[in-house]
């Protein structure tokens, strides 16, 4: 018998379907060794040697796998082909006693160990992998180990500093703290933003004297872009007086089309998904968080429906391309089939593994065909992945784009008593429109079109103005990050890796450092801002974007065998530890009190807000002479509790300041949710 070990029971079940009774497929249920929770677990004095332990929850499973290993002729490690998967494979060899620390198989009675990898869980992929085993890649293992040690050193050393200088229960992290800084910096940009008023001038034009509503078949809108051949500065006109003068001048203007350009525009399909673009589009189109998207993608992968979902690559196998071509020929008109497959070049310099892009394992598995096998959310994500990939192998969409320039000129009477007149400035308006001539890939991957539809027009044609109006606007502050834009920014700056974005975003919310507002955008909490200020002022490298990006590059070079992991850790740790010792001596404990409008009923002094183990509370400013303290009354949403119907939904906070919503009858009713309820839901 041959034993195959993978990470998850779902993956094991899927692989079992493709193999004979000669194989037994078992799951390790994820990592079976890790650093201890109760101590640092790193021997700093001896080259940062990690002191791994088998967690209590994994001991039974390790024992079972050991017994199986002793009875089998061959052990095949089939964990994922990335750094985490490689590390799990290596940890299995250590926990099961299959090799030394460098994975050199001992001359013993223990079975021979093989490592296999594959990008998709299909019969053919598994069979090919079994024919091409390889050794464990210790460069990948070292890179994963270096990341784990770095993260442990920062978290384990810096979190107690926050406890002493701010409050207990706080945490810092090598990547989470930089992400928090991005969100706080954005909030400061918004606070510092000074809104300005500007105007645009819009003309509703028609092509005949007949009464036609603006937006009707012979009418369209154009916007003022030039005055006497001088372009209007962005975003628009700044002076109301000038706007009123222009509107007055335009009242009796002659309107004529002075330029008209029509051209065919082609729109190419997006490439298939990478991990990053999958998370971004999952939010934009489905409103799935990065965490939810990755969880669902993992389910789809382990069930053999999509390729491996942790990838920076846009590569597509020749077999998959040929398969998709056949599917399109069988199901679409010839005009929707490309003469040869479309290939995409991977742009990311950070691509770690030679994976394929995220795609369905079989294009013939159209979403509706397998809908009954999936949950509603699994179906929605699979549908998105399938459409994106199949669309990438379809022709460009073709539009007819029209750009029109319209001039407006009129005579302006000079002041009373004058017998002459002068020509007013020449005003130039612009309108753009487009018509879809061939949908191409849009047939299965629809996208919003911005331009309006224009009537048939020609150069020299005279027009009539139905209405001329000014529109007042305010310049807008930068938008807060949402799930998609935060993922895009993390990738842009090289902070973390796409596979780590979901846990990063989750942890800063769980810690109460940021929360989503009603527009589902991230805003820092009060405690999040205070943590950020303390870290920026005292540990600038830890929250520096460039420093963090450089560290990711070092980890990449370890994975490529270009650097040794121990010097990378040492070069980071020694100055970090020295600075930490200094800051313990020089940084004073911060007062987290805030003024309130409450007056202490015991001594008459003002009450202040304080942060404690269980969140914010009111305390007398006369402490310690007066020890009066009380809870902050929760804010009611005036919505009945959906669980007990007796209480109302109230806003509460966790001990770290994160807002959640629960029943006013707590503890009699334990209803609670992170999402702000509304009367409609």
Distance CA(249)–CA(242), nearest Å, equals 11
Q: Return the ∠ at Cα 629 (arms to 625 and 633), rounded to 5°.
A: 155
Closest CA to 569 of 111, 177, 289, 153: 153
**Catalytic residue ranges:** 308
Which is it for strands 74-77 and 2-6: parallel, antiparallel or unpaired?
parallel
Tokens of 383: 């549908």
Q: Are 160 and 528 in contact (CB under 8 A)?
A: no
Q: Are 501 and 226 in contact (CB under 8 A)?
A: no
Written as one string, the DSSP assignment of 338-386 is: -SS--------TT--S-PPPB-BS-TTS-HHHHGGGS-HHHHHHHHHHH
CA dist 339 → 322, 326, 395 (Å):
12, 12, 9
- Angle between the 545-559 and 176-192 helix axes, to the nearest 10 degrees? 150
Residue 188: its H or E element = helix 176-192
Handedness of CA 430, 436, 441, 442 (dihedral sign): positive
Which is it for strands 648-653 and 42-43: parallel, antiparallel or unpaired?
unpaired
Residue 257: its H or E element = strand 254-267
Distance CA(220)–CA(200), nearest Å, equals 16
Distance CA(12)–CA(27), nearest Å, equals 6
521: left (phi over 0), alpha (psi -120 to 50) or beta: beta
CA dist 449 → 74, 399, 435, 452, 666 (Å):
57, 10, 10, 8, 49
Distance CA(662)–CA(142), nearest Å, equals 45
3-state SS assignment for residue 329 = helix
Count Cβ atoms below 10 Å from residue 173 Cβ, excluding itself: 20
CA dist 473 → 194, 242, 427 (Å):
14, 15, 21
Count Cβ atoms below 10 Å from residue 163 Cβ, excluding itself: 12
Distance CA(532)–CA(673), nearest Å, equals 27
633: left (phi over 0), alpha (psi -120 to 50) or beta: beta
């Amino acid at each position: 018998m041959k034993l195959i070990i993978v990470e998850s029971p779902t993956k094991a079940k899927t692989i079992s379907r493709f193999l004979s009774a000669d194989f037994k497929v078992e799951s390790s249920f994820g990592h079976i060794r890790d650093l201890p929770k109760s101590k640092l677990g790193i021997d700093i004095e001896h080259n940062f040697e990690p002191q791994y332990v088998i967690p209590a929850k994994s001991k039974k499973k390790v024992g079972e796998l050991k017994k199986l290993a002793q009875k089998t002729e061959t052990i095949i490690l089939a964990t994922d082909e990335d750094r985490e998967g490689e590390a799990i494979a290596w940890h299995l060899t250590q926990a099961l006693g299959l090799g030394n620390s460098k994975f050199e198989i001992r001359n013993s009675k223990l079975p021979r160990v093989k490592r296999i990898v594959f990008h998709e869980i299909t019969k053919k992929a598994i069979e090919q992998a079994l024919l091409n085993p390889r050794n464990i890649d210790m460069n990948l293992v070292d890179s994963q180990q270096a990341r784990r040690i770095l993260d442990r050193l920062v978290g384990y050393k810096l979190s107690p500093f926050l406890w002493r200088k701010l409050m207990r229960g706080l945490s810092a992290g090598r990547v989470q703290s930089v992400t928090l800084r991005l969100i706080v910096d954005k909030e400061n940009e918004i606070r510092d933003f000074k809104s300005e008023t500007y105007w645009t001038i819009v003309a509703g034009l028609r092509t005949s004297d007949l009464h036609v509503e603006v937006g009707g078949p012979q009418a369209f809108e154009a916007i003022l872009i030039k005055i006497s051949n001088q372009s209007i500065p962005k975003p628009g006109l700044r002076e109301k007086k000038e706007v009123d003068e222009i509107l007055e001048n335009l009242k009796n203007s002659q309107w004529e089309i002075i330029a008209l350009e029509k051209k065919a525009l082609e729109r190419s399909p997006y490439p298939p998904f990478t991990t990053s673009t999958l998370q971004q589009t999952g939010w934009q189109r489905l409103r799935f968080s990065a965490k939810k998207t990755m969880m669902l993608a993992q389910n789809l992968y382990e069930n053999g429906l999509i390729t491996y979902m942790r990838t920076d690559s846009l590569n597509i196998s020749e077999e998959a391309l040929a398969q998709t071509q056949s599917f399109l020929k069988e199901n679409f008109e010839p005009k929707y089939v490309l003469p040869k497959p479309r290939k995409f070049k991977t742009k990311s310099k950070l691509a770690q593994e030679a994976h394929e892009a995220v795609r369905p394992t079989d294009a013939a598995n159209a979403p509706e065909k397998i809908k009954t096998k999936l949950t509603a959310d699994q179906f929605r994500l699979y549908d998105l992945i399938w459409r994106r990939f199949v669309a990438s192998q379809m022709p460009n969409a073709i539009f007819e784009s029209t750009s029109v320039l319209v001039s407006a000129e009129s005579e302006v009477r000079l002041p009373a008593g004058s017998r002459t007149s002068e020509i007013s400035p020449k005003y130039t308006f612009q309108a753009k429109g487009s018509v879809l001539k061939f949908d191409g890939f849009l047939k299965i991957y629809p996208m919003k079109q911005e331009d309006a539809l224009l009537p048939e027009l020609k150069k020299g044609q005279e027009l009539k103005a139905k209405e001329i109006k000014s529109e007042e606007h305010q310049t807008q502050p930068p938008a807060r990050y949402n799930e998609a834009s935060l993922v895009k920014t993390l990738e842009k700056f090289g902070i973390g890796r796409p596979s780590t974005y979901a846990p990063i975003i989750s942890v800063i919310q769980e810690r109460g450092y940021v929360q989503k507002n009603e527009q589902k955008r991230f805003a820092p909490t009060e405690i999040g801002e205070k943590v950020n200020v303390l870290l920026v002022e005292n540990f600038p490298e830890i929250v520096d974007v460039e420093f963090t990006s450089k560290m990711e590059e070092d980890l990449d070079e370890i994975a490529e065998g270009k650097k040794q992991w121990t010097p990378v850790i040492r070069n980071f740790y020694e100055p970090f530890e020295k600075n930490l010792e200094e800051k313990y001596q020089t940084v004073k404990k911060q007062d987290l009190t805030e003024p309130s409008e409450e007056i202490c009923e015991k001594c008459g002094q003002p009450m202040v807000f304080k942060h404690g183990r269980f969140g914010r509370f009111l305390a007398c400013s006369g402490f310690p002479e007066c020890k009066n303290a009380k809870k902050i009354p929760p804010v009611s949403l005036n919505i009945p509790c959906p669980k007990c119907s007796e209480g109302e939904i109230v806003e509460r906070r966790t001990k770290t300041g994160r807002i959640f919503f629960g029943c006013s009858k707590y503890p009699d009713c334990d209803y609670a949710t992170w999402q702000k309820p509304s009367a409609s839901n």
